[in-house]
A and B are shown apart, each in its own frame.
Chain A
């Protein structure tokens, strides 16, 4: 099943196929931003609630561009992230304890508003959490496959 979910002129396409949900935010320069969360047969409200959060921060209305939010979600090397906040985005994803006032000051000096900085930081954090969540769910699927689901849980 494929459905398009249009919000404020931006599009988050959500594809559900074979137990995997893939989302794709259109409009990014140089390619679309995609992600996936596997949904087991015991697909639950937790994964659905997480997908709702991801889809909102990436594809819904915001003060930072969809490109900036998608790039922040993807990590420091993500497309669309203004140069001045690439360091901040990288730290949020990898070493959040090392974020300093200067990281935010660099963004302000480059003309980003407080709301844009807020959104970029949120997207960077959601992106890293998403990658970890996906990695864990993928390992669970593989482990279940190797053991035979009937033997566990």
Chain B
């Protein structure tokens, strides 16, 4: 990562944890996770709490659908680390990597529900333009997404518009495909805590 403190500035107990993870999983802890351990009182503790709520908290969206939203927002932002991490996680959550690939390639033709398609389209517009019109939002509701689903999707979008920026600014290392798979298993088993 671009800051030395994010490479080596951790407390001894945290460094020991990183070493244990490497020993058990034979993968380095991803930089997205390492970041959360750096001065967690400033950023990591609250960022994890928000991301956990957005991605694993109560919602009418499934975990798979929210992971697809995360992958979609990351794709729109061209954030390489997050695209890899959440494409792998969404694919594993759906049990269908083809569906995820199709949605990321062209949301208009992907085999997803109309409420999800309209929601992804809106999240993409919000991510690119920084805003979304009332008319566009009304279209999402008319397509069948409930108000609480839209609010929940906006939380996912916020989490990844934030994380994508930190991934790119701090230059997170991009793991191997095996590393992404290992991370996906972890996120589905343990969440973002």
Whose C-beta in chain B lies nearest to the C-beta of A88?
Answer: B169
Give Cα A71 to B149, complex, Å.
Answer: 33
The reply to whether B4 and A114 contact each other, CB–CB distance below 8 Å, is yes
Give A119 Cβ to nearest chain B Cβ, in Å: 7
- A52 on interface, CB distance cutoff 8 Å: yes
List the one stretch of A13-21, A24-32, A76-84, A130-138 in contact with chain B. A130-138
Q: From residue 66 to 91 of chain A, which have CB atoms closer than 8 A to chain B? A: 88, 91
CB pair B5–A125 under 8 Å, yes or no, is: no
Q: Taking chain A's interface residues, is the majority helix, strand, or loop, or is none over half, making it mixed? A: helix
Interface string of A104-119 (1 = CB under 8 A from B): 1000000000110111
**CB of A146 closer than 8 Å to a CB of B:** yes
The answer to whether A132 and B130 touch across the interface, beta carbons within 8 angstroms, is yes
Output the least CB separation between A84 and chain B (Å).
Answer: 15
Counting contact residues on chain A (CB < 8 A from B), the size range is 35 or more
Report A6-45 CB contacts with B as 1/0, cut-off 8 Å.
0000000000000000000000000000000000101011
Find out whether the CB atom of A118 lies under 8 angstroms from the CB atom of B147: no
- Which of B15-23, B94-102, B159-167, B180-188 lies on the face that meets chain A? B159-167
Instruction: State the CA gap A125–B50 with chains docked (Å).
Output: 15
CB of B53 within 8 Å of the partner chain? yes
- Bound-state Cα–Cα, A52 to B151, Å: 17
**B109 contacts A by Cβ under 8 Å:** no
How distant is the Cα of A50 from the Cα of B39 in the complex, in angstroms?
18
Please classify the interface of chain B as helix (H, G, I), strand (E, B), loop, or mixed, using the class held by over half of its residues: helix
Contact A133 B154 (CB under 8 A): yes
- Whether B150 pairs with A140 at a CB distance below 8 angstroms is yes
Q: Which B residues are within 8 Å of any A CB, using their own CB?
A: 2-6, 9, 38-39, 41-43, 46-47, 49-50, 53-54, 57, 77-79, 122, 126-127, 130-134, 136-138, 140-142, 145-152, 154-155, 157-159, 161-162, 164-171
Given A60-B41, A91-B169, A118-B42, 14 other A-B residues pairs in contact with their CB atoms under 8 A: A42-B147, A44-B148, A50-B155, A50-B158, A53-B43, A60-B42, A93-B165, A128-B161, A129-B159, A132-B131, A135-B132, A136-B126, A136-B137, A146-B134
Binding site for B on A (CB under 8 A): 40, 42, 44-47, 49-50, 52-53, 56-57, 60, 62, 88, 91-93, 96-97, 99, 101, 104, 114-115, 117-119, 121-122, 124-126, 128-133, 135-137, 139-140, 142-144, 146-147, 149, 151-153
A sample of 6 cross-chain residue pairs with beta-carbon separation below 8 angstroms, ordered by A number, consists of A97-B78, A128-B162, A133-B154, A133-B161, A136-B158, A139-B134
